[in-house]
Amino acid sequence: VTGIQQVEDAARRLAGVSVRTPLLRCFELEQRVGGVVLLKPECLQRTGSFKIRGAYNLMSQLSKVQAKRGVVAWSSGNHAQGVAAAGRLLDIPTTIVMPEDAPKSKLANTQRLGGEVITYDRYTGDREAIARNIAAERGAEIVPSYDHEHIIAGQGTVGLEIAQQCQEAGLLADQVLICCGGGGLTAGSAVALTAKLPGVAIHTVEPDEFDDTARSLALGKRVCVVDSARTICDALMSPCPGEMTFEINRQLLSDGLSVSDEDVREAMRFAFKYLKLVVEPGGAVALAAMLTGKINGKGMTTVVVLSGGNVDSDSFAEIQRSGSG
């Protein structure tokens, strides 16, 4: 199981590769919440989401032989860009299986970063089978999007930075809200946060219909969402918690929250208007939980992770427009 030592090792590997994203204050948000709110905008990260942290941490540990054979991954788009960018930096060929309805910018950027993209139908195809076939044919390594100790350790550098930045600012964080798909960012960050900020409460935030981690935490065992589940948060559509990620999250987290797609749209409008940040739907769920009052921040110091900003300009404009009526 991933420990703080592995997260700190990952931070050393990532020095000069990933961006140490800032911890931002927003007075408008603090006024609404009635407490201190710090934002960790991973939309400002290289490739527009936190995913390069885990991908690079894993891929930089491959042997020369493995690196030469390349890697294969499947992803809705953010892990794809992280893997492609890490591949370019490390000179490792990358192939990524992506849903054909992924945001255009995610498909285009993955290719621009040098990734070979293979598309499939999100609702009928089996991306894992496609990827495993390619990997077997080429002798390539699979780079999982969350359920791997090196991925968890890499994403955990988000939590490590939050702890360091809170200390630098002289602020004691009471709670941290983390956008949650398969649970890699949450698990790694929880490892770092509980090691560095003992007593901090960590909450996952998911889309209402993809609340598998929240329900799994409540039941104490992994459960999945129904096949018919839908959300605008294309980055958070993993139906079940990972085995490794859930084992960590089960031990370090108390509960999980969820928000509606309309809550997410409102959070994206807030981010445009008051934060001046471009946040994608999946990156806005934690902010949405704060704005809707699903979590109480009054008199407390809350850290809110904005996990990504990769959204097409058309979708972005439509979401902004939908709020003006």
Contact positions toward its own copies, by CB under 8 A? 19, 22, 24-25, 27, 41, 43-44, 46, 48, 105, 269, 272-279, 309, 313-314, 316-317, 320-321, 324
Nearer to its own copies, 276 or 298 (CB): 276
Burial of 12 (0-12, 13-18, 19+ CB in 10 A): exposed
- Min CB(165)–its own copies separation in Å: 11
Nearer to its own copies, 131 or 278 (CB): 278
**Both tokens of residue 148?**
């791997």
Nearer to its own copies, 27 or 227 (CB): 27
Place of tokens 């404009």: 317
Distances (CA, A) of 235 to 24, 98, 291: 23, 12, 20
Beta bridge partners of 302: 37, 175
- Min CB(288)–its own copies separation in Å: 17
Q: Is 18 assigned a catalytic role?
A: no
Nearer to its own copies, 106 or 222 (CB): 106
**Would you call 36 helix, strand, or coil by DSSP?**
strand
Name which of 185, 1, 177 is nearest 78 in CA terms: 185
Name which of 277, 297, 299, 300 is nearest 289 in CA terms: 297
Nearer to its own copies, 194 or 310 (CB): 310
Beta bridge partners of 311: none
- Min CB(77)–its own copies separation in Å: 14
**Would you call 279 helix, strand, or coil by DSSP?**
coil
Distances (CA, A) of 160 to 5, 9, 165, 298: 11, 11, 9, 24
Q: Is 51 assigned a catalytic role?
A: yes
- Min CB(201)–its own copies separation in Å: 26
**Would you call 124 helix, strand, or coil by DSSP?**
coil
Angle in degrees, 0-180, between the axes of helices 184-196 and 4-14, rounded to the nearest 10: 110
Q: Phi and psi at residue 272, in whole multiples of 5°? A: -65, -50
Nearer to its own copies, 136 or 317 (CB): 317
From the candidates 18, 49, 189, 307, which is the catalytic residue? 307
**Would you call 198 helix, strand, or coil by DSSP?**
coil
CA torsion 211-213-217-221 (nearest 10°) is 110
From the candidates 18, 40, 49, 51, which is the catalytic residue? 51
- Min CB(45)–its own copies separation in Å: 9
- Min CB(11)–its own copies separation in Å: 17
Answer yes or no: are the C-beta atoms of 99 and 120 closer than 8 Å.
Answer: yes
Q: Which residues form the catalytic set?
A: 51, 307
